[in-house]
Amino acid sequence: MSCMSDKTGKLITDDGSRLDGRRADEIRPMKIEIGVLSRADGSCYLEWGRNKVLVGVFGPREAHPRRMQRADTAVIRYKYNMASFSVEDRARPGPSRRSIEISKVSREAFEPVIMAELFPKTAIDIFVEVLQADAGTRTAAINASSIALADAGIPMKGLITSCAFGKVDGQIVLDLNKEEDNSGEADFPVAMTQDGEITLLQMDGHLTSEEIKKGLELVRKGCKEILEIQQAVLRRKFETPIEEPAKETSMEEISDIENKVVEAEVSMGYASEAKVVEEIHEEVKFFEEDILVKIAEEETVTEDIQEFEELKNKIEEPESLVEEKTLKEIIVAEIEEKADLKASLEINPKITEFEELELIEEEYFSSDAEKMTFESEEFAEDKTPLYEQSINEEVTSEKTFESKNELEFKDKSRKKVHAEEAVKVEEKYEKENSKGPWRVVKDPSESGSKGDKDE
Amino acid sequence: MSEVIATLKKDYIYNLMVKGKRQDGRGFKDFRDIKIETNIITKAEGSAKVTLGDTQVLVGVKLQIGTPFPDSLDEGVIITNLELNPIASPDFEPGPPKEEAIEMARVVDRGIRESGAIDLKKLCVTVGESVWIVFIDVHVLNDEGNIIDASCFAAIAALMTTIVPNEQQGIGDNVPLAMKEIPLGVTLAKIGSKLMVDPSLDEEAICETKLTIVSSSDGSVAGMQKMGSVSLTEAEVLEAIDLAREKATELRELYLEGLVRKG
């Protein structure tokens, strides 16, 4: 206060820069250290210009005296204290009226964000020591307290950021220093949440409402800058470093879907591996979508023509049929086998599930070949003429190569392959006849790999 | 006790607010009835009692010769004190002023000091040696809400009727205290999404936050203080400033401008 009297020189030069070289909308340089006190639950040392502020946070801890306790929430206590050596003329130690007021408004600045209701009957203590003062100590203390609270792990809805504006030489400027504050015409400290809600507001001096409006804009900008500094400091202490992946992900790894997913889930904590999992999920999703699309298309029987052409070709070429059997052939062979060796049906349970089998079996034993053909046609009803045609041809060719089949089935391993072939064809029929996707959510490649495993 | 009752009344007051009404039938921008009595304490150099609804505040101004502050050797000194006497409310306890009292005293003080209400240069007796010290003592007699506006009102009314006792010190004739400005504090309480002036005791107890704005006769703002633990948006602050300035102008014309020359 004593240095105020003979400061009459200009505080802002004609080109708009201030005594310390700042522009009107610039804050003083800020330096923050976190976790500087070992005994406090959270702490912060902050330098802002020539201000030096130290904050320690304790709690939530038992509230003393007990009558202070609140049954539904924690009490927040904020004590702003100035060291006697922090100002030009020694300050009387102990609480002054000024420090009591600052403590109250600062506490209220934090009450909207601290989730005190989580800790009933406790106290959260915030102790501020101003070690060196150079105007704007309450805003400095609030910025430091915000970080100390986060350091202590006190749940908060967001950080509180504080900055003042004032009027110097008739101009609205941000973050006054001591010289500016002494001869300034107004001082307007503000604290706000990350969303810009004002939690502390004080003012003294002389301002018009237009100047206040302009000042609030400046403060908003200043607070945004300070918030970035605060966040950077907290990130530096608490952010887990992202580790590089051990090796690059190849397509083979992606193809081994099941293993990968299990592996990656264990170490979800690492962003790089989480990314792999994500990719795999994408892959699987893509597959599933693809299948669903295919199913939908098959229901309308437009895309399947090519496959039936192939089937048709096979039937037309006798040589190929020696090796690759059609459904009917296999069924017939199966039935023969069953008649001779009753146990053979167990080879692939899917075949037993095939409802048509029993029907055909009966028909076979009644030796009614004509009826069988008819049933097959009925089986393929509502299909395209091409489809019907192929079925008819199938049945005809079955009769023709019956004798050859008998020879083939002496080789047991071959028979197994044919049984699998039957499953595939069966699945195809299932798809074609199904009305809903739930019956046919089968991946062609999946059934193939299953076959491999069985062997 | 009053806290519990206020919580019970919260819904009631909220529902009224939604309908645009208040407990005592006032509009959001209406003050309660104001009554000012000045010069009621003849032993004091100036005094005023303000009755705001049922809230009663008495301010006495005493002047004493003292030494100036080293940074303002040719200016008088203002010292403001506010006491929440136990007589005013069952919630007030005897003892040194608590933070609420200190805060209010400082807001009243800042309004007077920063608006330049008192011509402090005229209170200098000998430069650097002796000046008049103006003690503004606010005594709250009955708390029915909004002590701070009543205090601002009473303080400025008391100052406007203060006589500087020069004769007592043998330094000339007694003169009225030189006044340059009439700052007035207007407090707005935020209840739900609404701002209402002059909160009653119940409104004060349940309101989210209060904002006091002290403005001068030229419409400029001399002091502001947010009290309470809920945030305000910038729009609300700007709205409050406009409302407070408007109300202050109105009250100043109605009750105070006639007082100036009376002294």
A205-214, A280-289, B195-204: range with lowest mean pLDDT: A280-289
Last residue of a domain, one of A238, A266, A291: A238
The answer on A318 and A286 residing in a single domain is: no
Tell whether B7 lies on the interface with A, counting CB pairs under 8 A: no
Q: Examine residue A137 and state whether it is found in any structural domain, yes or no.
A: yes
Question: Interface of chain A against chain B, CB under 8 Å?
Answer: 1-5, 89, 97-98, 100-101, 103-105, 107-108, 111-112, 186, 188, 192-193, 196-209, 212-213, 216, 220
A16-25, A96-105, B189-198, B253-262: range with lowest mean pLDDT: B253-262
The answer on A202 and A258 residing in a single domain is: no
CATH code: domain of residue A37: 3.30.230.70
Give the pLDDT confidence score for residue A304 in this predicted structure: 58
The answer on A335 and A261 residing in a single domain is: no
Segment A444-451 shows an average pLDDT of 40
Please name the residues in contact with B166: beta carbons below 8 A apart, sequence gap of 6 or more: B172, B173, B174, B175
Query: Does A308 or A95 have the greater pLDDT score?
Result: A95
**Locate tokens 């199938």: which residue?**
A394
Among the partner-chain residues B106, B229, B241, the one whose CB lies closest to the CB of A108 is B229
CA A2 to each of CA A88, A345, B122, B124: distance values in angstroms, whole numbers, following the listed order:
8, 107, 21, 18
Number of domains chain A is built from: 3
CATH code: domain of residue B105: 3.30.230.70
Closest-CA distance, A121 to chain B, in angstroms, reads 18
Smallest CA-to-CA distance from A185 within A162, A163, A203, A158 is with A203
Band of the pLDDT at A243, cuts 50, 70, 90?
confident
The answer on A165 and A86 residing in a single domain is: yes
What 3 state SS string does A290-334 have? HHHHHHHHHHCCCCCHHHHHHHHHHHHCHHHHHHCCCHHHHHHHH
Give the pLDDT confidence score for residue B218 in this predicted structure: 92
Give the pLDDT confidence score for residue A240 in this predicted structure: 79
Q: Which residues of B touch A192 (CB under 8 A)?
A: 231
- A401-417 pLDDT per residue, tens: 444 444 444 444 544 55
Query: Does A372 or A255 have the greater pLDDT score?
Result: A255
Query: Does A404 or A129 have the greater pLDDT score?
Result: A129
Q: Which residues of B touch A142 (CB under 8 A)?
A: none
Which residues form the domain of B47?
Answer: 2-259
- B62-99 pLDDT per residue, tens: 999 999 999 899 999 999 999 888 888 888 888 888 99
Band of the pLDDT at A428, cuts 50, 70, 90?
low
Give the pLDDT confidence score for residue A380 in this predicted structure: 44
Is B227–A108 a contact, with Cβ atoms under 8 angstroms apart? yes
Give the pLDDT confidence score for residue A376 in this predicted structure: 47
Closest-CA distance, B83 to chain A, in angstroms, reads 13
Q: Examine residue A53 and state whether it is found in any structural domain, yes or no.
A: yes
Segment B108-137 shows an average pLDDT of 94
Q: Examine residue A72 and state whether it is found in any structural domain, yes or no.
A: yes
Smallest CA-to-CA distance from A152 within A77, A74, A33, A56 is with A56
Is B70–A1 a contact, with Cβ atoms under 8 angstroms apart? yes
Number of domains chain B is built from: 1
The answer on A401 and A313 residing in a single domain is: yes
A46-50, A83-87, A387-391: range with lowest mean pLDDT: A387-391
How many secondary structure helices (H) and strands (E) does chain A include? 17, 9
Most confident segment among A200-209, B166-175, B253-262: A200-209
d(CA B176, CA B261): 9
Last residue of a domain, one of A238, A267, A291: A238
Give the pLDDT confidence score for residue A16 in this predicted structure: 84
Residue A320 has pLDDT above 90, yes or no: no
Residue A293 has pLDDT above 60, yes or no: yes
- A344-390 pLDDT per residue, tens: 444 554 544 555 555 555 555 554 444 444 444 444 444 444 444 44
Segment B173-181 shows an average pLDDT of 92
Q: Examine residue A246 and state whether it is found in any structural domain, yes or no.
A: no
Mean residue pLDDT of chain A comes to 74
Segment A199-226 shows an average pLDDT of 95
Q: Examine residue A244 and state whether it is found in any structural domain, yes or no.
A: no
Q: Examine residue A245 and state whether it is found in any structural domain, yes or no.
A: no
Among the partner-chain residues B220, B227, B232, the one whose CB lies closest to the CB of A197 is B232
Among the partner-chain residues A5, A206, A209, the one whose CB lies closest to the CB of B222 is A206
The answer on A316 and A419 residing in a single domain is: yes
Residue A267 has pLDDT above 60, yes or no: no
Band of the pLDDT at A327, cuts 50, 70, 90?
low
Last residue of a domain, one of A193, A208, A238: A238
Q: Examine residue A243 and state whether it is found in any structural domain, yes or no.
A: no
Q: What is the DSSP string of A272-287?
A: HHHHHHHHHHHHHHHH
Q: Which residues of B touch A5 (CB under 8 A)?
A: 71-73
The answer on A223 and A259 residing in a single domain is: no
d(CA A183, CA A170): 11
CB atoms within 10 A of CB A280: 22
Most confident segment among A43-47, A265-269, A272-276: A43-47
- B21-62 pLDDT per residue, tens: 998 999 999 999 999 999 888 889 999 999 999 999 999 999
Q: Which residues of B touch A224 (CB under 8 A)?
A: none
How many percent of chain B have pLDDT more than 70?
Answer: 96
Tell whether B219 lies on the interface with A, counting CB pairs under 8 A: yes
Band of the pLDDT at A38, cuts 50, 70, 90?
confident
A291-295, A300-304, A306-310, A446-450: range with lowest mean pLDDT: A446-450
Is B99–A100 a contact, with Cβ atoms under 8 angstroms apart? yes
Residue A319 has pLDDT above 90, yes or no: no
Q: Examine residue A259 and state whether it is found in any structural domain, yes or no.
A: yes
Tell whether B222 lies on the interface with A, counting CB pairs under 8 A: yes
The answer on A122 and A28 residing in a single domain is: yes
The answer on A151 and A29 residing in a single domain is: yes
Which residues form the domain of A411?
Answer: 305-454
Mean residue pLDDT of chain B comes to 91
